[in-house]
Structure 1
């Protein structure tokens, strides 16, 4: 059979242990990040705990994706620190990080014509050589079913539409089965049905004990599905807390530079954010 690749040899890694609900699994402490000589995050303090969905919202350039990447330890801190699973992010090896957090970037591109199932199976690579290796087939099957991509398991990833690729990328992250999920605009390329599907998955993973951080532009989705919302503005956290408290008209109008009104949904009571419009007779 030959020698197995180094990636799949048994190796010494500190495996994640189950965390009680409420345990902080990722935290930024006085975190600042500089990119291209510019301060993109400035003294941010924010954490996410097992069992909750935290939505990061804010205008373009506010620092949402940068904060997500910093929480994943994919970007270095200029000052402050990031903790993952109770320890400094830098104290974990790359393999150990991959067992603790799964990251969904804004776009998913592959240079080789891998079939969908193989792309999803890539999410299982961190578990090679561990006791959980035997769960690979089950994890891949469940992740594909959750993301509704089972029907095109054998199709080349490159042949899919943008929305289908986004769901396959999500399935890869789900198959990784980490206690921390970091999702960057997972609904951007999706239709209405699949936007709702993705956020329901986030809620289900949180109910199972995961900590989920999701970058969203749709404030309605944030209000409906997040336990907490952090509004970023100018590289800082302008407000953070339950959606009903944070998503208020004065703050959002100031942050987005767009007048809005916030009303309670007549059935659920969730806040609905509506851009203020003078009338329906818009100039053409």
Structure 2
């Protein structure tokens, strides 16, 4: 008698969210790293159809909060929910169909070609009904991030900015409804910073939720629907940039005099350090 080979079942792809659906949230979250409390009682909500920028000075807890929302970092208190369920209740394959994560730096030990790196984003969909979309998803992601021209080059041979765009292409190819991006513009020139934030806006308009850690307050003001200003492990303000980006608040949070004023042509919020010279 021949025994049937057991094939692990693949998790079912989640349905597309409706506008305004909560795709991730932190409730009274605390995170300790070693002896240091990095997040202390943080609450944040991430909704489909919006770009949420996490801003604040170095050490404020931005990347830690992103890691907690991704369920990549355990919390010592409170709860993180992803797609309405406590994060720890999702398996790794289930999470990979629901959220994609761009870390601060991308490094690989093997000489993968650029296209192979981007294709790694499709791994969660293997064995599902959407596996047939792999080629189209990879091609579209590379085109949108402008890396198609060096698809055959080794990832290790790229510049820092090129690697950052390839890493973003991998996230886009994954096609999840929740994108968590940690400083995606840090290594990029002016043109590609704008490109990346336009892609974030496009994904939000298409119904995704995008959380992006940014140091550039001007980019946050221009592209984010909401901004959460973190300071010393807490949320100092949360709301539309035009409402929460005040000179007084930012000067206090960054311990640096800051001026906030409207753009003379568009009226959009502009943020700049105050320089008395």
Give the TM-score range, shorter chain. Answer: over 0.9
Hey, what does 1:143 align to over in structure 2?
Answer: 141
Deviation digits for residues 94-133 of structure 1 (CA, Å, limit 9, x no counterpart): 0000000000000000000000000000000000000010
Residue 212 (structure 2) aligned to one of 208, 214, 228:
214
Residue 41 (structure 2) aligned to one of 37, 40, 43:
43
Q: CA deviation at 1:36?
A: 1.1
Hey, what does 1:13 align to over in structure 2?
Answer: 11
Q: CA deviation at 1:12?
A: 3.4
| Separation of aligned partners in 1, 2:177 and 2:136 | 17
Where structure 2 has 5 or more consecutive residues not aligned to the other structure, the ranges are: 1-5
Hey, what does 1:256 align to over in structure 2?
Answer: 254
| Separation of aligned partners in 2, 1:166 and 1:261 | 31
The answer to whether the 8 Å contact 1:10/1:128 transfers is no
Q: CA deviation at 1:269?
A: 1.4
| Separation of aligned partners in 2, 1:92 and 1:209 | 22
Deviation digits for residues 134-154 of structure 1 (CA, Å, limit 9, x no counterpart): 000000000000000000000
Hey, what does 1:237 align to over in structure 2?
Answer: 235
Hey, what does 1:112 align to over in structure 2?
Answer: 110
Q: How does 1:62-211 map to 2 (within 5 A)?
A: 62-211=60-209
**Secondary structure, counterpart of 2:137 in structure 1:** helix
CA gap of 1:146–1:10, structure 2 versus 1, over 3 A, is: farther
| Separation of aligned partners in 1, 2:116 and 2:228 | 35
Runs of 4+ in 1 over 4 A off after TM superposition: none
Q: CA deviation at 1:274?
A: 1.2
TM-score, scaled relative to structure 2: 0.97
**Secondary structure, counterpart of 2:127 in structure 1:** coil
**Secondary structure, counterpart of 1:255 in structure 2:** helix
| Separation of aligned partners in 1, 2:29 and 2:13 | 26
Deviation digits for residues 206-254 of structure 1 (CA, Å, limit 9, x no counterpart): 0010000000000000000000000000000000000000110000000
| Separation of aligned partners in 1, 2:231 and 2:148 | 39
Q: How does 1:271-282 map to 2 (within 5 A)?
A: 271-279=269-277
Count of paired positions: 272
More moved, 12-21 vs 170-179? 12-21
| Separation of aligned partners in 1, 2:208 and 2:28 | 24
| Separation of aligned partners in 2, 1:24 and 1:239 | 19
Deviation digits for residues 4-60 of structure 1 (CA, Å, limit 9, x no counterpart): xx9xx6623142111110001000001000001111000000011000000000000
The answer to whether the 8 Å contact 2:138/2:173 transfers is yes
CA RMSD of aligned residues (A): 1.0
Where structure 1 has 5 or more consecutive residues not aligned to the other structure, the ranges are: 1-5, 280-284
Hey, what does 1:282 align to over in structure 2?
Answer: none
The answer to whether the 8 Å contact 1:25/1:86 transfers is yes
Deviation digits for residues 53-89 of structure 1 (CA, Å, limit 9, x no counterpart): 0000000000000000000000101000100011111
